[in-house]
Amino acid sequence: MTDTSSVLQIKGLQIALPEGADRPFAVDDVSYDLKAGEILCIVGESGSGKSMSANAMMGLLPDLVRPTAGEILFHDTDLLKLSEDALRDLRGKKIAMIFQEPMSALNPLMRVDDQIAEVFEAHDLLSPAERRTRAIELLTEVGIPDPEKAARAYPFQLSGGQRQRVMIAMALALEPEILIADEPTTALDVTTQAQILKLIADLQERHGMAVMFITHDFGVVAEIADRVAVMQLGKIVEHGNADEVLDHPQHDYTRKLIAAIPKLHADDAEEADTKKTALEVIGLTKTYRSGGGLFGGPERVVHAVNDISFKLGVGETLGVVGESGSGKSSVGRCLVRLQDPDQGSVLLDGEDMATLTGEKLRTVRKSIQMIFQDPFASLNPRSKIGRIIAEGPIAHGVPAKQAYAKAAELLDLVGLDPSAIDRYPHEFSGGQRQRIGIARALALEPEIIIADEAVSALDVSIQAQVLDLLDDLKTRLNLSLVFITHDLRVAAQICDRIAVMQKGNLVELGTASDIFNNPKSDYTRSLIEAIPGREKELAAAG
């Protein structure tokens, strides 16, 4: 007999992986329930199996991955035994899902209201006119500004936060009993993340839904969870009330994950003007223009970087923080000349990189290298690791034998076995690929490294390892680091000073300690206040 307080029960679920996988089961003998009107957070690192039970519930498992034991009971119905037609009728109407990346989940060729209307059309509900009216009502409910205009927009015309709100509107369209949210805030900056978390909690309370929230972020758990299930390698290792799990974790793995969360504490740092300058930026400006031209239409002008100046000390880590669209990544790309600034100077060893061209730029560029956000997209999938690391030095005249020997040394330096030199990027985990990206950046023996969201795609424990590695390398090699991030917890852990950017402007620059303890700008204060789990952490500390 199903527990009447539970809308969903998972009992002894086992999901087999195809032959050749690193373990036999994605989910192994997993049991938990979801109660009406609660938020249950499923927490774990990549590969823990946390999304698999939700995908099985929705009938969305990948090919060659199948349930081999157990039940998923929605009230008294075993979802694993339903036909595809019966599952299709259930999806959206009774159980709905929000995905991690709305740009991939939304059709780029359809207007927003047409995509919401499709939900009703799939279940043969409402007339075409009523569907459009309901779409605007739903966009209003999820807090999108000017919902009538947004309804006629295409996904690319909306911000990341607005696209995620559209996904939530689609999920709510048929007023489901269960809402599954699979990492819905991972790609969002801190203030947008806070807005989406509040929206989901408010909607859950207003509609009385049960919410299953899948995440690897314990800050998010602290913000919204009623109960928590912690998964490791396909098994639930801890399950209980959110406060109990967060404040008194029983399992070593849970304690390890919580210990890896960057703390909101910044130590006092030496003032930058007492250091030797590694890099000086003066009046840097970058503007993007789109539209107009041959095909007409209004020209769109975005002032991505607006007359900013700062210095980077030798051996210093300078954080550049801000929301999406603040201009922080444009600064990084201009520093390494992946983009040309419109105005300003980037002074490195007495040379203005902003004005250099040809062989002179190529020579100076060795001194400033970049680590990119996505360690898979930035590594050539057709090249072996040795070639990826060695090709920079070879291009600058280093003999191939010497460059490959150096590549093996660098792999050892970043904590990978030198035998990795003969393997391809797809054979490594995300954290290992990021270490390879760091080795590639070090191959030209730079003085300065620009790390652009270098840990934002990583699980919290892998993130902690990469941050420790960067800090260790900075000390051992006397590197200077520009660390671009939207994660203020990470900035507090690794940065000596922090530059806060908003809409292309530098609104505040100071030591990490001053920025976090005595922010002068209202915008900086709003960023800090939006950090998930901040209030709970402050309460525990004080």
pLDDT in tens, 412-452: 989 889 988 999 988 887 788 888 999 999 999 999 999 99
The pLDDT score that the predictor gives to residue 274 is: 45
The pLDDT score that the predictor gives to residue 22 is: 79
Q: How confident is the model at residue 1 (pLDDT cuts 50, 70, 90)?
A: very low
Domain count within the chain: 1
Q: Which of 155-159, 208-212, 262-266, 452-456 has the lowest mean pLDDT?
A: 262-266
Whether residue 22 lies inside any domain: the answer is no
Whether residue 523 lies inside any domain: the answer is yes
3-state secondary structure of 51: coil
Taking a C-beta distance cutoff of 8 angstroms, is the pair 147, 179 a contact? no
Cα(69)–Cα(63) distance, rounded to whole angstroms?
A: 17
Q: How confident is the model at residue 293 (pLDDT cuts 50, 70, 90)?
A: low
Q: What is the mean pLDDT of the chain?
A: 88
Whether residue 476 lies inside any domain: the answer is yes
Highest mean pLDDT among 186-195, 294-303, 315-324: 315-324
Closest by CA to 231, choosing from 27, 16, 44, is 44
Q: Which of 37-51, 62-76, 100-114 has the lowest mean pLDDT?
A: 100-114
The pLDDT score that the predictor gives to residue 297 is: 58
The pLDDT score that the predictor gives to residue 217 is: 84
Is the pLDDT assigned to residue 137 strictly greater than 60?
A: yes
Mean local confidence (pLDDT), 60-75: 92
Is the pLDDT assigned to residue 504 strictly greater than 50?
A: yes
The pLDDT score that the predictor gives to residue 538 is: 66
Whether residue 256 lies inside any domain: the answer is no
Mean local confidence (pLDDT), 186-215: 87
Whether residue 239 lies inside any domain: the answer is no
Taking a C-beta distance cutoff of 8 angstroms, is the pair 341, 504 a contact? no
Taking a C-beta distance cutoff of 8 angstroms, is the pair 228, 43 a contact? yes
Taking a C-beta distance cutoff of 8 angstroms, is the pair 33, 53 a contact? no
| Residue 517's CATH number | 3.40.50.300
Whether residue 168 lies inside any domain: the answer is no
The pLDDT score that the predictor gives to residue 3 is: 46
Is the pLDDT assigned to residue 466 strictly greater than 60?
A: yes
Whether residue 467 lies inside any domain: the answer is yes
The pLDDT score that the predictor gives to residue 365 is: 86
Closest by CA to 65, choosing from 12, 100, 13, is 13
| Parent domain of 488 | 315-340+355-367+446-541
Taking a C-beta distance cutoff of 8 angstroms, is the pair 411, 421 a contact? yes
The pLDDT score that the predictor gives to residue 310 is: 96
149 CB contacts (<8 Å, ≥6 apart)? none
Whether residue 274 lies inside any domain: the answer is no
